[in-house]
Amino acid sequence: MRVLTKSRFKLGLECPNKLFYTRKDEYPNSKSSDPFLQALAQGGFQVEELARMHYPDGILIEGNDWDYNLLWDQTQELLKQENVVIFEAAFLFDGLFVRTDILVKQGDEIELIEVKSKSFDPTNDFMFVGRKGGIVAAWKPYLFDIAFQKYVMQACFQDLKIRSYLLMADKSKQASIDGLNQLFRISKKVEGRTGIIKKVTSLEETGDSVLGRKEVTDIVNDIEANKFMYHNNLTFQDSIKHFKEKYEKDEYFGWPTSYGACKECEFTCSIEELNQGKKSGFRECFTKQHQWADIDFEKPNTFDIYSFRKGSNLFDNRIIFKSDLNEEIIGLKEEADKLSTSHRQWLQIEKEIKNDLSIYVDKEGLKQEMDSWTFPLHFIDFETSTVALPFYKGMTPYEQVAFQYSHHIYYEDGIIEHATEYINNQAGVFPNLEFIWSLKNSLEIDRGTIFRYSHHENTILNAIYFQLLNSNEVDKNELMAFIQDVSHSKSDSVVKWAGGRDMVDLCEVEKNFYFNPLTKGSNSIKAVLPASLASSLFLKEKYSQPIGKINVSSKNFQESHIWLQSEEGKVTNPYKMLPPLFDNWTQEQLETTLSEMEGLSDGGAALTAYGKLQYTDMEQAEIDELTTALLKYCELDTLAMVMIYEHFRELAYGDF
């Protein structure tokens, strides 16, 4: 039976054409989700379990997930009761199928409660509907999801009065007990199945709840009345009707292509996959709607242009290929002291059109920047998490947790030392205090310049600063002074500072003075590193040798380890050489799978592994294996920064 479920409805809202491509082996999906991985990454399963404890008499309908009729029959039987609470109630109507997280029935009144691991601020009056009167983009999929659930429920029981709610982590609430986040864990049962283990039997044992409800009944009603529309030319009712019909018949929708949706399309595949008989949904859409021939897919298009805000308007005017662009269309504006955004865009366009792989570098600007740095140079990278349920009493949901760092030192004589590292792999231990003491001891050995890549490390140090400020830690002033010395306050901070040894953002240095066409417009370290390795003769020569022979120490790799390897003349990305962090999932696969989760980009793989350490009962051997993989992962992040620094030094000074 092909039914339109709420997950398929959500997919159809993104792009109706995806309903034809989904769940077909011949169409590779780069975003194939794994709910278990996502639950581990941000503790979503814990929020769900805690939410259910608010309704101790709730009845769970479980098993037989694909037997829609059986689940619907079980739900109908339970709803015969005057008052009942059901977890995972199922509703089936004319090819539509939904399951609700929590349903509370009292007479003819229903509370439809959707549980989300997202957090909210109850004082924000414009959380769902913005000041201009439209639904806030980040909440749109969730609200339309609830509206779809209500639609199907109401179709099944027209006389019921349904009110809709979101139940989420409330950031204004504090945990009133220690160890809240360890009360719900994942354990392998005797029969080999993986399940949730609750260490409490009542809500009272969890202390004051950190969850809160927000009613969204009026917004759902407005969605049904088409006051709020997901797509301007498709009503809520028509979207349900058309999605259902096309999915049921397994027909291509023919929804118009668009810059935003097509740019992020997950139904794409490589040339190798095409040669193996796989199909690309992206390719089929553009063949059918734009009459593209095979050669058109080889032409450079606008989808990957760096920070390209004009892309959507140009696409609507059928300007899709880079060869159709010029300096006037781009609005090229050059800046004297750094690469402007438009200049970066034009470099990317021009070099790809001309098949020019040469690097652009502002040697004078880069040299002037590098002349301001003080040896020895320190390179640091943090791995962090934000957990829904707090570790300790007094903490709020989604406070920052810094569980790992790596630290390389580059000395003036060229010696590279993997100097220090830190990792917390103990379940239920809040590591931030130990983390910041360790970092302080590592960085205060001298006054050398400290480097981070992008803004993450500065954001985390700001978060720890305010955790310390609100704590009873005896030595907090010493730690806060250290943080102020090596960072700067965020723009919205109530306390302002600019450290005398404020970390240098190597990503900003890259964006200001350097462009490598091999990065395809990306500034991610995972794109810049392999591009640098492929472009630098110095790096190729040096890192094609064992690390024990090139003055590079390591805490996690043997002296015989070689970082630079090639396959068919192409440099292999060192990140692809790392051990898997989660079962047989590589770091790259995990990052792609988790890419849509809020607040995740690079680092999603490590965050997921940390979640596994925190919430899963494992043998010590498995803990050790995962810890080793995490240490290698983080070490490469700081060594990658060292390599990029060496590449910049080679370009600016030419003295290697």
Please give, one letter per residue, the 3-state secondary structure of 555-597: CCCCCCCCCCCEECCEECCHHHHCCCCECCECHHHHHHHCCCC
Name the pLDDT band for 556 (thresholds 50, 70, 90).
very high
Q: Is the pLDDT of residue 270 over 80?
A: yes
**Average pLDDT of the segment spanning 578-589:** 64
Residues of the chain with CATH 3.30.420: 368-505
Contact status, residue 530 vs residue 518, Cβ threshold 8 Å? yes
pLDDT of 548 reads 93
**Average pLDDT of the segment spanning 396-403:** 94
Which of 148, 150, 206 minimizes the C-alpha distance to 177?
A: 206
**Average pLDDT of the segment spanning 496-510:** 98
**Average pLDDT of the segment spanning 141-161:** 97
Phi, psi of 360, rounded to the nearest 5 degrees: -95, 130
Please name every residue paired with 25 in a beta bridge, in sequence order, or none if there are none: none
Question: Quick count: other Cβ atoms within 10 Å of Cβ 32?
Answer: 12
Distance CA 180, CA 388 (A): 10
**Average pLDDT of the segment spanning 253-267:** 95
Mean pLDDT of the chain: 92
**Average pLDDT of the segment spanning 221-248:** 96
pLDDT of 137 reads 94
pLDDT of 387 reads 84
State the SS3 of 25-88.
Answer: CCCCCCCCCCHHHHHHHHCHHHHHHHHHHCCCCCEECCCCCCCHHHHHHHHHHHCCCCEEEEEE
Distance from the first to the final alpha carbon of the chain: 66
Residues 6+ apart with CB under 8 A from 583: none
Tens digits of per-residue pLDDT, 13-53? Answer: 999 999 999 999 999 998 765 656 666 665 678 899 999 99
> How many CA atoms within 13 Å lie on the side-chain side of 39?
17
pLDDT of 310 reads 95
Distance CA 402, CA 383 (A): 6
Name the pLDDT band for 378 (thresholds 50, 70, 90).
very high
Name the pLDDT band for 196 (thresholds 50, 70, 90).
confident
Name the pLDDT band for 266 (thresholds 50, 70, 90).
very high
**Average pLDDT of the segment spanning 120-141:** 95
Q: Is the pLDDT of residue 105 over 90?
A: yes
Residue whose tokens read 């004297």: 336
Tens digits of per-residue pLDDT, 476-492? Answer: 999 999 999 999 999 99
Distance CA 35, CA 96 (A): 22
**Average pLDDT of the segment spanning 246-268:** 95
Which of 344, 645, 397 minimizes the C-alpha distance to 519?
A: 344
Burial 187-216 (b: 16+ CB within 10 A, else e): eeeeeeeeeeeeeeeebeebbebbbbbbeb
Contact status, residue 437 vs residue 420, Cβ threshold 8 Å? no
Phi, psi of 637, rounded to the nearest 5 degrees: -60, -40
* Planar angle of CA 17, 23, 27, nearest 5 degrees: 70
**Average pLDDT of the segment spanning 255-269:** 94
Which long-range contacts link 615-624 to residues 24+ away (Cβ below 8 Å)?
A: 615/40, 615/43, 615/45, 615/46, 615/181, 615/184, 615/185, 615/186, 615/427, 616/40, 616/185, 616/186, 616/187, 617/185, 617/186, 617/187, 617/188, 617/197, 623/425
pLDDT of 239 reads 97
Name the pLDDT band for 590 (thresholds 50, 70, 90).
low
Q: Is the pLDDT of residue 598 over 50?
A: no
Residue whose tokens read 């050995």: 445
Distance CA 283, CA 292 (A): 8
Axis crossing angle, helix 236-249 with helix 217-224, rounded to the nearest 10: 70
pLDDT of 589 reads 55
Contact status, residue 572 vs residue 565, Cβ threshold 8 Å? yes
Name the pLDDT band for 606 (thresholds 50, 70, 90).
confident
For residue 650, give Cα distances in angstroms to 380, 448, 542, 645: 21, 20, 12, 9
Of all residues in the chain, the percent with pLDDT exceeding 70 is 93
Q: Is the pLDDT of residue 475 over 80?
A: yes
Order the strands of the 504-505 sheet from edge to edge: 416-423, 400-410, 377-386, 450-452, 504-505
Question: Quick count: other Cβ atoms within 10 Å of Cβ 336?
Answer: 6
Name the pLDDT band for 597 (thresholds 50, 70, 90).
very low
> 80-89, 128-137, 204-213, 582-591: lowest mean pLDDT where?
582-591
Phi, psi of 98, rounded to the nearest 5 degrees: -135, 155
Of all residues in the chain, the percent with pLDDT exceeding 90 is 82
Q: Is the pLDDT of residue 190 over 70?
A: no
The verdict on domain 368-505 having CATH code 3.30.420 is: yes
pTM of the model: 0.92
pLDDT of 586 reads 57
Which of 445, 463, 443, 467 minimizes the C-alpha distance to 455?
A: 463
Reduced to 3 states (helix: H, G, I; strand: E, B; else coil), residue 261 is: helix
**Average pLDDT of the segment spanning 360-387:** 96
Distance CA 275, CA 540 (A): 31
Distance CA 562, CA 639 (A): 13
**Average pLDDT of the segment spanning 44-71:** 93
Residues 6+ apart with CB under 8 A from 368: none
Phi, psi of 215, rounded to the nearest 5 degrees: -80, 135
**Average pLDDT of the segment spanning 498-527:** 96
| Greater model confidence, 601 or 24 | 24
Q: Is the pLDDT of residue 440 over 90?
A: yes
Structure tokens at 518: 């091999």
Please name every residue paired with 587 in a beta bridge, in sequence order, or none if there are none: none
Q: Is the pLDDT of residue 546 over 90?
A: yes
Name the pLDDT band for 418 (thresholds 50, 70, 90).
very high
Tens digits of per-residue pLDDT, 241-256? Answer: 999 999 999 999 999 9
pLDDT of 595 reads 47
Name the pLDDT band for 77 (thresholds 50, 70, 90).
very high
Structure tokens at 1: 């039976």
Distance CA 499, CA 443 (A): 14
Please name every residue paired with 418 in a beta bridge, in sequence order, or none if there are none: 408
